[in-house]
Amino acid sequence: MNQMKGNMKAITPEMEYLSTRQSAKVLQVSLGTVQKMVELGELIAWKTRGGHRRILASSLEQQLQRRKRAMRQKTTQNCIAMGIFRRSENSEELLQAIQDWQLKVDMEVAVDSLEGLMKTVSIAPDLIFLDALIPPVEQVHLIHYLSKNKDTQRIPILVDEGFIKLHPGVVTLADENNGNKPHLTESIKKELENGLIDLNPMIIGYPATNPDLEGSINPGQRHELLEPLFMEALSRKCA
């Protein structure tokens, strides 16, 4: 683990790309392995006019993060989750609740959709939790990008069951009233019609945890109901 930290320090903020040899040193692999990783799309690279490969530093950092996660999984039976929230108090409530679960969960938290997406791609967690307060259009964008990325497309996503039941037309209407925020593209709208949400086997619904909604589950019970759903998500990931 200490060696890995040292490798990450070898990539400084001002370094946007590295040579194949530098990349091999950072990852502690052979030049041939780096070239194979580029061919497989595990590292992002391009060639200079002179024919030399240049590896994007951010893709190296992602590889190091994946290794760190793999090492952590070997030394612990904990579930690694990514929680994307709208309010910090919602994340704090869930983090407090999972302390009492039998299932041990290490949860990374983001209170911003873009940050949550970037963190998810970086750490490739066992499951992803989307807070009910995230607007429907944002949730659609998140699920769209997560389902397209090769590193995240097989990760189960827990979403409010009320969101799953939303008709695509309702989401589209919300999108049209979304002001200056990014709208759904025609291709995403088509994906919605074809079952991006309701027919996606990686989507698992949980009872509404939104305290602002009328008829919401009792605050003392809503997080207790999540533990078996987290376990179901883990079983789907392993299937």
In 3-state terms, what secondary structure has residue 220?
Answer: helix
Q: What is the pLDDT of residues 118-174, one digit of tens each?
A: 999 888 899 999 999 999 999 999 999 999 888 888 999 999 988 888 878 778 777
Q: Span 65-76, mean pLDDT?
A: 62
Cβ contacts of 121 within 8 Å, gap of 6 or more? 62, 149, 151, 152
Which helix (H) or strand (E) segment holds residue 50: the answer is: none
CA 107 to centroid of chain Cα atoms: 12
Name beta bridge partners: 84. Answer: 110, 130
Which is higher by pLDDT, 183 or 34?
A: 34
Consecutive H or E run containing 233: helix 226-238
Question: What is the spatial distance between Cα 213 and Cα 133, in angstroms, rounded to a whole number?
Answer: 10
C-alpha triplet 157, 163, 168: angle, nearest 5°: 110
Domains and CATH numbers, the chain: 2-62 (1.10.1660), 69-238 (3.40.50.2300)
d(CA 144, CA 153): 9
